[in-house]
Structure 1
Amino acid sequence: MTISTSHDNAATAARDAIDRLLAAGELRLGARQRDRLAALTRIFGPAVLVDRGGFAAKGGVVIVVEPPTGPAAERFYRSLSSGMAVAIPFGENPAFDFLKSKLTDFGTVAPCGPEAPHALWWGGLGWPSLAGRLPGATPPPLIVSCYPRETGEAAAQHLERAAARLDLPAMIAPVDAVLGDRLLAYEKADFILGVWQAQRRPLLFVDTDATLIEPPLLPSRLDCDLALHKWNRWEMSARTLYVGATETAGAFLRNWRHLAAAFPAIWDGYALDQAWSLTSSQQPLDTVWLPRAYHAPGGEWPGRTMPHGAVIVHDLPDTNADLGPASDLAPILRGARRASRVAGRETLIALRAPAETAAGVTVIVRGIASVAARHLAASIEAVAQTFANDPGEFDRLEIALCPWDDDAAATAAAAAAGGHRLIEITPPHAVASDLFSARAQTRPAAVIALPRTGARRTS
């Protein structure tokens, strides 16, 4: 017998209110995304919709449906207060990047299948406005870390003492490293996955050189699948990594380990980035982007006097040299990751058909810049739903948003390398109900393109 509590009742009421608001605005979000919005309303207050025209924040959670630009974005930004959060239900659309750049990105919830093939983005004016409102009674995560066995136990003593001082559970173990005194990304990912499978509880991995200043409770209180810090707002760091107890979190860890093992020469942050993108395209991964307090570089304070508010301090200089081996690595990812979304050359959502036919199809969505956000969203929904209803002879679908010609060319090349058929569409043209079934696998491979206006990257 389950006894209902006031917490459960409040959560149900918040979810019902969000469902009614989304239905009134004709917005399609998945269950995990609606849960996130409902949780935000319990923190900040009731949600309101802001559509085209009149960009003024009037509620606790402001759901922005169409992107404001120029003066409208500035007016909207100035209308916000620390007691408000901003949510964008079409977070995959690059037209929202300008608004996002003015805010602090708190998190994203990846697409939720053919019924809700959009990424929910949420943010605000700064982490203090959120952190101070979170519930306090939350069990701490298990602190986990590993070090090369060759370096000796002394490598773990500092972190062990810090965890004990803060009364945090910890599991720190040696790893037989291939390179002796240095861990590969695969070895780190394999260790974290092994602990996660054995414990099935929220974990917070930190490098053994880290200093714990305060209990790292923020990701646990936000009840997410994954939490990590983006260095310079685009480069993912594996020095602080929270993973929840969910199956989606486990899928992320397995993807990270697989990619890190397949490409051992790349640094762990890039493998982490690609694992996040891959998992986000297939499952509703709920990600929190940790504030700088969870990834403070010790080089900023040579005297070791830690700033007020720091939670985890790492022994690294105040540069990005220790995170990525080259400052120009993967420049195509930077703009997208800064806005917490996948890039145009990556898959927004990947869907599977019930029957396996060894035939895949990639749909490139073009003409994004000149289309209203609702129209673009409707086209994405139509493609995903059409595939769910009638996939034809295809057993997998990938949808990619490509605002530029070079993005489309790179996506087309990747599709060809993977043996996918290629279809281009341009919103707001209607998507035929036989979009996939009309293209039998026995026909010659070709690009089926609807009329579009050309767009070429200028910067």
Structure 2
Amino acid sequence: MTDETHANLDRLLQSGGIRLGRAQLDRLSWLASQYGAPTLDDITEGRRSGVIILTEPPSGAAAELFYRSLTPGSAVVIPFSENPGFDFLKSKLTEFGTVGPCGADGPHEMWWGSIGWSKFLTAADASTIRPRIVSCYPRGSDDSAALVLRQSLERLRLDCHIEPIETQLDDRILCFEKAEFMVRMWNKYREPLLFVETDATLREPPLLPSFLGCDVALHKWNRWEMSARTLYLGRSVRAERLLRAWQQLAASYPAIWEGYLLDQAWSLTTSQVPLDTVWLPRSYHALKGDLGATRATILHDRQTTTMELGPDPAFANLVRVARRAGRAGARDAFMVMTSKAEAGNGISVILRDISASDAGAVAATVEAVTGAYATDCGGYGRLELSLCAWQEDVGAARDAAALARYRILEIAPGQRIANDFFAAHASSDSVMTARHLFP
């Protein structure tokens, strides 16, 4: 983008009171280069194109009219997408991706989507960056599926690495074994990696993730449960951080299903760094029996009714709703910030009643809390901010903070947050401790 275009984008964001971090600005700039100059809260009559930035959730009727007005040449960006008020509109759109919070500079999750993938699926063919396809299977097992996969990759002239690995079980690979394999591939190769299960067949070059230039790309089964059968990792520090988190969780909990561990690694990583995530279309995770299987880019040798792919009954309903809406659940910290304070203590701030409050008030409170922590951490080495729509969410967030032995503060949207907010609470803690020691 030209300097003039950047300047126009900055003025537009300032007029809407929108604060975006560097990674979020990069994604928005990229979208503008694909769709055209953005407009702000453009909910008007008539067909539209270009990038539309929404800062307030439309009502049900307005959301329906807005959805009907969109064309394949339009994209929707929601810079405060952590707010559940946007869930209804997002459920009607095709979710392309999210960019996680960027600390105090961009303390919100940015969501982007449209009415379908057709524009990008066509444009991706021109991508010059090709991922290396990697896969593994248990040593000593039947390698016929690996041979079919390799032949499909040779036909498409794609570089690959497929190997048998030592496994605890003869017939399948456990999550920690897959994660360790991926770490080895990350260290061995320099290009982006695309893992697919050995029973998959590639019909077309899988160029969409590299064309989009994201950190990580994967498919959400039933729009909420993450699948590790197709997993793309771009060559970025943030992608490596997700991979390492997944490896550590898998090593600590080897009996837990890989999709759930990937979900938890993603939640942890996106709360700490602005992870640029793409949610791959079904054509990158097609199963035999799917209506669109003949047009699939990646076809897995599983029937559509395969229970091991989902839904997992162990997932809490609260998490399912949040994942469908492309945001972290109430049981996960929305954002984690660290300070230079040497103290190992942490503080958990719970922002309640966000579903019943104005989106602008919620966003302003998030910005005030993160800004205050960046200005004066009060000696707290770590801040975890949780967004809670219901009282049940508040209880879950409190329980999690108590397990971590964090100081817990509960606030409401619109509450005044001074720059010395954390220092003041740290002082009150010191006074209470002194009174306890010296009555």
Q: Give the 3 Å change call, closer, same or farther, for CA 65–135 of structure 1 in structure 2.
A: farther
Q: TM-score, normalised by structure 1?
A: 0.90
Range moving further from structure 2, 153-162 or 105-114: 153-162
Matched residue type, 2:317: P
Contact 1:159 1:209 in 2 (8 A): yes
Contact 1:63 1:89 in 2 (8 A): yes
The one of 10, 15, 18 aligned to 1:24: 15
Check if 1:267 corresponds to 2:257.
Answer: yes
Give the secondary structure class of the aligned counterpart of 2:77. Answer: strand
Contact 2:371 2:419 in 1 (8 A): no
Q: TM-score, normalised by structure 2?
A: 0.94
Q: CA deviation at 1:14?
A: 4.5
Contact 1:206 1:239 in 2 (8 A): yes
Distance 2:130 2:208 in 1: 9
Check if 1:342 corresponds to 2:333.
Answer: no
Structure 1 equivalent of residue 372 of structure 2: 386
Greater helix share, 1 or 2? 2
Q: CA deviation at 1:141?
A: 0.3
Check if 1:40 corresponds to 2:26.
Answer: no
Give the secondary structure class of the aligned counterpart of 1:322. Answer: helix
Structure 2 equivalent of residue 214 of structure 1: 204
Q: Give the 3 Å change call, closer, same or farther, for CA 438–265 of structure 1 in structure 2.
A: same
Structure 1 equivalent of residue 437 of structure 2: none
Check if 1:117 corresponds to 2:107.
Answer: yes
Q: Give the 3 Å change call, closer, same or farther, for CA 96–171 of structure 1 in structure 2.
A: same
Distance 2:297 2:355 in 1: 40
Percent of aligned pairs with the same amino acid: 50
Give the secondary structure class of the aligned counterpart of 1:436. Answer: helix
Structure 1 segments unaligned to the other structure (5+ residues): 1-9, 446-459
Structure 1 equivalent of residue 409 of structure 2: 423
Check if 1:74 corresponds to 2:64.
Answer: yes
The one of 80, 83, 97 aligned to 2:87: 97
Q: Give the 3 Å change call, closer, same or farther, for CA 154–278 of structure 1 in structure 2.
A: same
**1:120-199 to 2 correspondence within 5 Å?**
120-134=110-124, 136-199=126-189
Distance 1:163 1:436 in 2: 55
Check if 1:300 corresponds to 2:290.
Answer: yes
The one of 257, 275, 279 aligned to 2:269: 279
Structure 1 equivalent of residue 360 of structure 2: 374
Range moving further from structure 2, 383-392 or 324-333: 324-333
Distance 1:359 1:333 in 2: 28
Q: CA deviation at 1:24?
A: 2.5
Check if 1:354 corresponds to 2:340.
Answer: yes
Q: CA deviation at 1:307?
A: 4.1
Q: Deviations over 1:54-88 (max 9, x none)?
A: 58774400000100011111111111111100000
Q: CA deviation at 1:201?
A: 1.9
Give the secondary structure class of the aligned counterpart of 1:251. Answer: helix
Matched residue type, 2:25: R
Distance 1:429 1:358 in 2: 28
The one of 307, 318, 321 aligned to 2:304: 318
Matched residue type, 1:156: A
Matched residue type, 1:372: D
Q: Deviations over 1:112-170 (max 9, x none)?
A: 11111100000010111332344713221000011111315444211111110100000
Q: Deviations over 1:146-195 (max 9, x none)?
A: 11113154442111111101000001112111223311111111111211
Contact 2:352 2:388 in 1 (8 A): yes
Q: CA deviation at 1:439?
A: 2.1
Q: CA deviation at 1:214?
A: 0.5
Matched residue type, 1:199: Y
Range moving further from structure 2, 424-433 or 236-245: 424-433
CA RMSD of aligned residues (A): 1.9
**1:228-267 to 2 correspondence within 5 Å?**
228-267=218-257
Q: Give the 3 Å change call, closer, same or farther, for CA 207–13 of structure 1 in structure 2.
A: farther
Contact 2:138 2:172 in 1 (8 A): yes
Range moving further from structure 2, 54-63 or 137-146: 54-63
Contact 1:60 1:83 in 2 (8 A): yes
Distance 2:142 2:112 in 1: 43
The one of 75, 81, 86 aligned to 1:85: 75
Distance 2:359 2:146 in 1: 50
Q: CA deviation at 1:373?
A: 1.2
Q: CA deviation at 1:108?
A: 0.3
Q: Deviations over 1:379-421 (max 9, x none)?
A: 0011011011111121000000011111100110110100100
Runs (4+) of structure 1 moved beyond 3 Å? 10-17, 53-59, 152-155, 324-328, 441-445
Structure 1 equivalent of residue 436 of structure 2: none
Q: CA deviation at 1:443?
A: 5.2
Contact 1:316 1:322 in 2 (8 A): no
Give the secondary structure class of the aligned counterpart of 1:400. Answer: strand
Range moving further from structure 2, 409-418 or 10-19: 10-19
Structure 2 segments unaligned to the other structure (5+ residues): 434-439
Distance 1:443 1:114 in 2: 29
